[in-house]
Amino acid sequence: MAGDVPEDALCGAVTTLCRDALGPDNEVVEVKRLTAGASATTHRVRVRDGASGSERALILRRASPGDPFGGRVGTALEATTQAAVFAAGAPVAEVVATFEAHSVL
């Protein structure tokens, strides 16, 4: 199940992904599970920029195993739609990065 990843492994994997997306000076300071729904597990991620010391809050959505919605809407389509809505100026969260598969995530 998506939520059954040890916290240290999850934090390490998220750190790698954040550094790839945001730059090598970024450090994950917190990964906190918020929900565990039928279609995804949601985590709050706090990232600190090592150069400036500023922090930013991100959301990590991890697909649950299986296909609870019969293939109608997957996480890739969800992220693409969210990015388009953000680009159109709607007040939604920005999609910072997406990934297809990861051994831990």
| Cβ neighbour number for residue 50 with a 10 Å cutoff | 12
In the chain, the percentage of residues whose pLDDT exceeds 90 is 28
More confidently predicted of 48 and 67:
48
* Cβ 26 vs Cβ 50: under 8 Å: yes
pLDDT digits (tens, 9 = 90+) for 27-64: 999 998 887 666 678 889 999 999 999 999 998 887 76
DSSP 38-93: SSEEEEEEEEEETTT--EEEEEEEEEPSS-TTTTSS-HHHHHHHHHHHHHTT-S--
Classify the C-alpha dihedral 69-72-76-79 as positive or negative: negative
pLDDT digits (tens, 9 = 90+) for 2-13: 446 777 788 888
More confidently predicted of 10 and 87:
87
**Per-residue model confidence (pLDDT) at position 96:** 87
